[in-house]
Amino acid sequence: MIVVIAIDALEYNLVEKFNYKNLKQEKYGKTDISEFSQPRTMVLWSSFMTGENKENEILALGDKKMWNYQIDIKDTFFSKFKNPKVIDLPGFSYDLDEHKKERELLKAFFEAKTQEEKEKIKKEYNQRSLEHHKKIKNEFEKAIKGEHDFVLGYFSAIDVIGHLNFGNKILMKMLYKDMDELAKKVRTLGYPVLILSDHGMKAIGNFGDHSEYGFWSVNFETNLKNPKITDFKNLILDVMKEKDKEFK
């Protein structure tokens, strides 16, 4: 089995600062996403799974439709596996309704007139995102104990909660710690693990904006340096081939 922990907006500088060893793994660094005009979630994950820059294609859809974009499995490297499990990945197996709800709450927060209303919305937004986070975590933990040869879990809470709470470092630290604990569980299973984020996050006061690089880390040997998000397709397929060879 190969495992990918896909974390939206995991920020390189915060991983460094909190020094979470299981997130850093044996080798870690920033990804180069400078080929994209903006660090957009949908664009980056779509490019990841296809190994191609999907920016133009997705931007052509416009802000509304882009979130519903779904790529066929045969156009992704997931199809190279016999029994892959890809949980909640944007552009692929994303829970459209849930993430739409979260975006609506985000919008409602900014449009709310009073502070009280904002606080109420923020609370609902945080709670909802954490509920979803727990659900995905359960699914993911089940999957890595299953019969799959590839498991990817996508975790959005760090991005979602970060947008309204990035200035609250204690909340952020708790989320990073939670992901670190999850990474630890996965790593003890002995599979090759890739931890990848589409982009990081930077502060606007208490709020969070996307930063212009992503994060990656692995627990296996690789010559990868300063990778682009499209490079991970081949990295994973190479690991797969290695494993197949070993098996034979």
Instruction: List interacting residues with other proteins (CB under 8 A).
Output: 38-42, 63, 66-67, 103, 106-107, 110, 113-116, 118, 123, 126-127, 130-131, 134, 163, 168-171, 173-175, 178, 204-210
**Residue closer to other proteins (CB basis): 64 or 248:** 64
**Residue closer to other proteins (CB basis): 134 or 142:** 134
**CA atoms within 13 A of residue 124's CA, in its CB half-sphere:** 15
For residue 202, the minimal CB distance to other proteins (Å) is 10
**CB atoms near residue 128 (< 10 Å):** 15
For residue 85, the minimal CB distance to other proteins (Å) is 24
CA distance 21 to 24: 5
**Residue closer to other proteins (CB basis): 90 or 192:** 90
Q: What are phi and psi of 50, to 5 degrees?
A: -100, -20
CA distance 153 to 162: 19
**CB atoms near residue 168 (< 10 Å):** 14
- Please count the residues of the chain: 248
**Residue closer to other proteins (CB basis): 88 or 159:** 159
CA distances from 114 to 110, 119, 137, 207 (A): 10, 9, 34, 17
**CA atoms within 13 A of residue 245's CA, in its CB half-sphere:** 6
**Residue closer to other proteins (CB basis): 149 or 209:** 209
Ramachandran area for residue 134 (φ above 0: left; ψ -120 to 50: alpha; else beta): alpha
CA distance 5 to 196: 6
For residue 172, the minimal CB distance to other proteins (Å) is 10
For residue 188, the minimal CB distance to other proteins (Å) is 20
End-to-end CA distance of the chain: 15
For residue 88, the minimal CB distance to other proteins (Å) is 18
**Residue closer to other proteins (CB basis): 121 or 235:** 121
For residue 74, the minimal CB distance to other proteins (Å) is 27
Q: Which tokens in the block code for residue 115? A: 């502070």
For residue 73, the minimal CB distance to other proteins (Å) is 24
**Residue closer to other proteins (CB basis): 157 or 239:** 157
